[in-house]
Chains A and B, each alone.
Chain A
């Protein structure tokens, strides 16, 4: 695929992520903070988000497996996940966290379990999509092109 086509594909892909609600304006803010002196900023922050989210999701899974559930502690973790997804613009994950927190507050085990599954699902989708987008960007750079804004 030629460079121009790759760049076109990237722009279309990125646009779709916004249109489909996976990403919100905060992701654009991240991109605006990236420049020649900090060319990997977005990838770095998003990578931190992946690591942090996986840790939190694991902890939430474990918490829900317990006989006695510590809803308060779970809520604290969901709050963290909500914060970090908000910071990188992962809109669907953030929105699910809001629902999840309501279930924690209501101490609703079943609701929490369902929500956790949904969050895990949305998280894995946005992770895959972002990784695909970064791969496209890398292909463009490798072809000697620049990333269109």
Chain B
């Protein structure tokens, strides 16, 4: 089992804007990922194989899972817009992280607005990255390490110390100087996925002034 080729990675992109869907699709394909785009959080959940039974909700936080009990199609990463009518990107993130079958799928949030409290909230809820729109090709370079983690995770039940497992291209402490203008993101990759949030990262967030 060597390093998976990028075209084996399948990204689900969620955005209510048709322009942004076209853009993110092109960006992802240029980065050699397989892409599926949907225009809402509920369609994203459907695609992921998570069906919410609205008539019969006993516990709001545990939507019923389809009989397969795993994703219909393998998705290695979900990238979603934050501001969407109905289910927001944050709501979608929460549902994914609360689902036993989906919680290991890395989720990235995109937003046109740089709101520090919004960014913290998403990162605390388990988002891997927060990209400011318009998203650029250079932003997408940050996705690969998160997807690589997932691929190998399929073979382990226990969490491993991922810092030792992969040579992550994203170095701790490395900040691209032009990032200050573009987006807020965290340094490094969070090793613990099973610990409950919040992850304290007081200095990791770079915000635009």
Residues of B close to A45: CB separation below 8 A: 19, 22-23, 26
Task: Indicate which residue in B17, B20, B26 contacts A38 across the interface (CB closer than 8 Å).
Answer: B26
Q: Which residues of A contact B85 (CB under 8 A)?
A: 76
- Chain B positions 81 through 98: 1 when the CB is less than 8 Å from some CB of chain A, otherwise 0: 001010000000000000
Contact B22 A48 (CB under 8 A): yes
* Nearest CB in chain A to that of B27: its residue: A33
Q: Does B190 contact A (CB under 8 A)?
A: no
Number of residues from A at the complex interface, CB < 8 A: 21
CB-based contact B83/A87 at 8 Å: no
Q: What is the chain A residue whose CB lies nearest that of B81?
A: A83
Output the least CB separation between B146 and chain A (Å): 22
In the assembled complex, A92 has its CB within 8 A of some CB on chain B: no
Q: Is the CB of B22 within 8 A of A79?
A: no
Q: How far is the CA of A86 from the CA of B112 in the complex (A)?
A: 9
Residue A44 CB within 8 A of the other chain: yes
> Which residues of A lie under 8 Å from residue B22 when comparing CB positions?
44-45, 48
- What mask results when residues 68 to 90 of chain A are scored 1 for a CB within 8 Å of chain B, else 0? 00000000100110111011100
Contact with B along A32-43 (1 / 0, CB 8 A): 110000100100
Chain B contacts to A: CB under 8 angstroms = 17-20, 22-23, 26-27, 30, 83, 85, 112, 133-134, 136-137
Chain A interface (Cβ within 8 Å of chain B)?
Answer: 26, 29-30, 32-33, 38, 41, 44-45, 48-49, 52, 76, 79-80, 82-84, 86-88
